[in-house]
Amino acid sequence: MSATLVHGQGTRVGFYATTCPRAESIVSSTVATHFRANPAIAPALLRMHFHDCFVRVIDDAKTQLEAACPGIVSCADILALAARDSVVLTGGRSWLVPTGRRDGRVSLSFETTDLPGFRESIDSQKQKFSAKGLNTQDLVVLVGGHTIGTTACQFFSYRLYNFNGTASSDPAINASFLPQLQALCPQNGDGTKRVAFDTGSENRFDASFFDSLRDGRGILESDQKLWNDASTRAIVQRFLGITGLAAFNVEFGRSMVKMSNTGVKTGTDGEIRKICSAINS
């Protein structure tokens, strides 16, 4: 395991080495236990790092950490560690996670409105990431997290039928892939039905997501635009094929560390939440 260390605003690798030496192992074993019961937990944990929401595994880890070392390990750090562990469990490369964050009284990470929407232009996506200190490469790399997990028909079915009032489909969709998507998401069908971001590889953390973008098989319009826009296509091209996988694995860890250090609270700022889903009273 290796990673480029990006320290930010008081975080450091091994922050809990003396105050709670089992912190990282408790998180990783908890994530692994839940993953064995339900592999869909991995993409959920990865998304949580952006969306500031919680699933039971985080509360489970927090309960164990409070028993081992009360009031020491923040929910923000549990999220950062669990996101890394979820990538490893699905076959991705590990990275060193700087810890030492404290929990905010409002949000742990990106505000939901700060996240790119599924129809958003590349310029708008870049602006939102830039506001967090993240560059265009970080944008492409972190969207690459869609290599695992699913989305719902309601977020892309408009591309399959009357796209932008054209009475046809989005021309960016590969013509041979279109019938497959239409079968999964019939017109006026169940909008909550789940569909893999990375067809045939939704449980493996690999770089085939980028191959899909090249081939016109991106599910979300905002994802497919990464290939169709020249400024991001050059970055996507770096992650194509077997050689691209190695590069993607390295860059994903780097970008996750950068993202997890945006707006971070350390020192005496914020608090250490007792329960991750609620601020301390």
Residues tagged active-site: 51
* Tokens linked to 278: 């609620």
Task: Please check if 150 is assigned to a binding site.
Answer: no
- Neighbouring C-alpha atoms within 13 Å toward the C-beta of 30: 24
Which residue from 55, 107, 100, 106 is spatially nearest to 82, judged by alpha carbons? Answer: 55
Task: Please check if 269 is assigned to a binding site.
Answer: no
Task: Please check if 70 is assigned to a binding site.
Answer: no
Which H helix or E strand runs over 124?
A: helix 122-130
Task: Please check if 103 is assigned to a binding site.
Answer: no
Give the C-alpha separation, 184 to 177, whole Å.
Answer: 11
Give the C-alpha separation, 181 to 187, whole Å.
Answer: 11
**Does residue 132 sit in helix, strand or coil?**
coil
**Does residue 249 sit in helix, strand or coil?**
helix
Task: Please check if 55 is assigned to a binding site.
Answer: yes
Task: Please check if 59 is assigned to a binding site.
Answer: no
- Give the count of beta carbons closer than 10 Å to the beta carbon of residue 57: 25
DSSP character at residue 145? G
Please answer whether residues 172 and 223 qualify as being in contact, where contact means their C-beta atoms are separated by less than 8 angstroms. Answer: no
Q: What does 177-197 look like in DSSP terms, one character per residue?
A: THHHHHHHS-TT--TT-EEES
**Binding site for substrate: which residues?**
116
**Binding site for heme b: which residues?**
146
**Binding site for Ca(2+): which residues?**
52, 55, 147, 198, 206
**Binding site: which residues?**
52, 55, 116, 146-147, 198, 206
